[in-house]
Structure 1
Amino acid sequence: MIEQPAPGPDGIEWRVSPGLTDYQVALAEMEARAAAVAAGTARELIWLLEHPPVYTAGTSADPRELVDPRFPVVPAGRGGRYTYHGPGQRVGYLVLDLNRRGRDVRCFVHAVEGWVIAALARLGITAFRAEGRIGIWTHDASGAEAKIGAIGIRVRRWVTLHGFSVNLSPDLLHFTGIVPCGLAEFPVTSAAALGMVHDTATFDAALAFTAEAFLQSLICAGENET
């Protein structure tokens, strides 16, 4: 299957990569694209993909939370701590220009959370924000609060990098090699573990359906430096 970039909402390139994309290759391409967007020589980008198994370290990563590094560990340059990416997890990289969408990083993170929550709702999954905990949360089969999605953002010259990851059907045992996002007291779950629809095409369609509302929610009052 050949990757097909396509026009997205508001002129943004909407890219869906088939198969598995090496994390470091994707990171380099995302950084180059962000620099080009900042220079005004490229369109903004929403990029949906999956990675081979990898642990990524954010700028606040604590080595004590790397419990069993059975997969490659790669510095990510984003905020946050350790997280896992792998097959069955949808990753969305967002290279968006906040110079034209509102220079408010908190608003941006809040909007990304809302977008993922709205997309999951279309899969029949009730997800929510949790006070004091960045990410996307739901209730697992036991009724406990469990993390189904992670948010990790970096902003350079008011252009965003990184984005979100959502657990559709990953091997949840792969998360046991780290303390995911530093939150040892909460489990990790997935759409598959909840018995819900979990194919990437359906989730991508849900993201596309709710993307316009996400972009409209980005314009917030105030400017917060990062």
Structure 2
Amino acid sequence: MSSNLPENIEWHAEARPIGYREALERMTARNRAIAEGEAREMVWLLEHPPVYTAGTSADGAELLDPRFEVVEAGRGGRYTYHGPGQRVGYIMLDLKDRGRDVRCFVHALEGWVIATLADIGVESWRSEGRIGIWTRDIDGREAKIGAIGVRVRRWVTMHGFSVNLAPDLSHFTGIVPCGIEEFGVTSLARLGIDLAPSAFDEALHARFADFLGTLAGKESCLP
């Protein structure tokens, strides 16, 4: 899936689940290597075994039932769940030549996920004051279908997004996802869409140039 990608960006999709701690170590090492000019930028798509991750703003009161391992992630945000049936995208890009604007990067990342979901038939959106990607659930209420959490070191990004394809939604009840109690969590499967991870990766790839264009200032980044 490397065609039409800039030569300096590696696109890699894992065929097997990767433990969160292992992924964090590999991502941290890659971040350092990119910052030092020793490795290419990277989009890394994968799945984790069940885990709760704590961002830098995590509140212990929101860890309701730690039935899975809890790992401090180092990214922004609060508690998040990762597990089978969820596609995680770790985006390691050098922002030194892309405006050095973290808010723009997060906005562009959200837009990339929203556009990808639209292409597979799911309308989604940002919601003022609520982190993440939101859609209309089967009961008509808003629900979260994707999470966003990033960290930037030496102007190289880490972490990224997760999108719920077909996870066990009961696993989210062990935490208050991203600190938001009033709204639920949904998935493509719950919305009646059966989509393989590889198909979702293809949809992401088709929108990647638009995402890079936003970072390059070819499109409006922030409203």
Mapped to 2, the partners of 1:188 and 1:8 lie a distance apart of 34
**TM superposition shift of 1:19:** 1.7
Unaligned runs of 5+ in 1: 222-226
One-letter amino acid of the counterpart of residue 152, structure 2: V
Q: Deviations over 1:155-191 (max 9, x none)?
A: 0110000000000000000000000000010100000
Aligned to 1:212: 209
8 Å contact kept, 1:7–1:14: no
CA RMSD of superposed structures (Å): 1.3
**TM superposition shift of 1:219:** 2.9
Mapped to 1, the partners of 2:96 and 2:67 lie a distance apart of 40
Aligned to 2:11: 14
Three-state SS of the structure 2 residue aligned to 1:121 is: helix
Aligned to 2:153: 156
- The answer on 1:173 being equivalent to 2:170 is yes
Aligned to 2:30: 33
Aligned to 2:103: 106
**TM superposition shift of 1:7:** 6.2
Q: Deviations over 1:68-117 (max 9, x none)?
A: 00000000000000000000000000010000111111100000000001
Mapped to 1, the partners of 2:35 and 2:3 lie a distance apart of 19
- The answer on 1:58 being equivalent to 2:77 is no
Equivalence map 1:76-95=2 (5 Å): 76-95=73-92
TM-score (norm 2): 0.95
Mapped to 1, the partners of 2:170 and 2:121 lie a distance apart of 24
Mapped to 1, the partners of 2:184 and 2:195 lie a distance apart of 19
Mapped to 1, the partners of 2:161 and 2:3 lie a distance apart of 20
Match of 2:192 among 180, 190, 195: 195
8 Å contact kept, 1:154–1:160: yes
53-62 or 126-135, which deviates more: 126-135
**TM superposition shift of 1:134:** 1.8
Equivalence map 1:122-141=2 (5 Å): 122-141=119-138
Mapped to 1, the partners of 2:92 and 2:215 lie a distance apart of 14
Q: Deviations over 1:99-147 (max 9, x none)?
A: 0111111100000000001111111110111111121000000110100
Aligned to 1:224: none
**Which 4+ runs in 1 deviate beyond 2 A?**
5-8
8 Å contact kept, 1:152–1:162: yes
Mapped to 1, the partners of 2:100 and 2:216 lie a distance apart of 8
Report the count of equivalent residues: 217
